[in-house]
Chains A and B, each alone.
Chain A
């Protein structure tokens, strides 16, 4: 799974503000749905593939991202292909029909999914998780007015991200320790497999609790009194590249709207 994988780099895309990339990614996913004919899809594909050399990330990473949800894509495309009615009927067998409109819809859905996956993979490959956490905090900041504890949420997010590798290590250690005592992970029927997970999960939960307890103590000892009245060490700042990205997205939107009505 490519989610959360980050490839360090220094490309123009890496240097964009994480807020630009996060919002830009959501916006891009939104405008993908504006495309409704060959020319608009072609434009989006050229644009997306054009970003790859700019981000200096190999195409292979994206294809691997696709492979992970291949089944979902295939399922959706086949559903569209066989169950869309309208247009010329090209082939029929019982209630399964392949029509010209069905083929067209299936291809469009395929294009959409591929574009969306490429855009989100580009986001995670070029943005540090910490940067994303900062971006989420900054974007949610207006919600403070309606008493959403944004700072606390951001702190939880960044602590969660920081503990992912620690907990992964802990999981591997616990698994090996239980294997050494004869627990057989990943074999047998579903019930047996589920049962073998218990000696992994319970110790992991308990150790997560004690970790949380230690961490809370350490945080308090260092003067943490809650989210309010703190300053921030890390600051996000927009640069010229972010303006260029925003202009590009607006231009693409305008062109898409013009082309879709033609």
Chain B
């Protein structure tokens, strides 16, 4: 299959920076895939997202090598707006990305920019509100919503715009655990219903665990690529990259410390519970 995002040998340098923020990054993402990009602060995750939709303008830095293709379109001045039609981004701070004065206005903003006729906008806003389960909130002002609800509105704006790709740029990092789960469940559901490609940039390992594939960045380079199972069993390497070790892996390490042998393969929490359940069973 033709990859939906293809990055070849991308290097990017911010103005006045000593070294490249991204160094020879290459990756290709297949349609319908959920890819998580992880790495410590300053590893180039957000720079990468900015490069995919052409948000990092020349005055902020420049691409020193490589090129990016999104949905078959090369990223250049001519195609950048067409690319943005294919990509919906949810940013980190729920307050600072809320453009509209009410929920319905905010959801319609992207469609207004694309000159969608008014009747169609009203239908699509209503449908998007239903999709994110916020129909009762259409006339609410952002000041009266919780952080999780604001991120749901941001996702509704994407649903209304119906792109092929969702980028979550640390979209859950300012939410409480409940709001986080809510947003991730919603995106999972949308991905299945609408066959969207999801690129999530995150520090949150439960979010990364949902991915089909994890790409780990370190110092602007791709340090590791693999399934969550492959990546999460590298406990030591995760810690070196400033990331948390998932809870089942922590438990396995603690068990090994007490002389209990556990297999090296990756367990989800449920998987580990099932394993421990059978460990002492004599049947």
Contact = CB atoms under 8 A, between A and B. Distances in A.
Interface stretch (B7-15, B88-96, B229-237, B257-265): B88-96
Nearest to B157: A222
A239 interface: no
Nearest to A221: B89
A162 B53 CA distance: 27
Contact of A215 (B97, B108, B111, B141): B97
B163 to A, nearest CB: 10
**Most chain-A Cβ atoms within 10 A of its Cβ — which of B108, B109, B121?**
B109
Contacts of B117: 231
Given A162-B98, A219-B109, A223-B84, 11 more contacts: A129-B101, A130-B101, A162-B101, A165-B142, A169-B143, A211-B95, A217-B91, A218-B97, A219-B99, A221-B84, A223-B110
Contacts, number: 94
Interface in A204-232: 210-211, 214-215, 217-225, 229-232
Interface residues of B, number: 39
A161 B101 contact: yes
Given A221-B89, A223-B114, A166 B99 contact: no
B223 interface: no
A49 interface: no
Contacts of B157: 222
Interface in A163-196: 165-166, 169
A49 B222 CA distance: 72
Contacts of B108: 233
B112 A230 contact: yes
Contacts of B93: 214
B81 A162 contact: no
B161 interface: yes
B140 interface: no
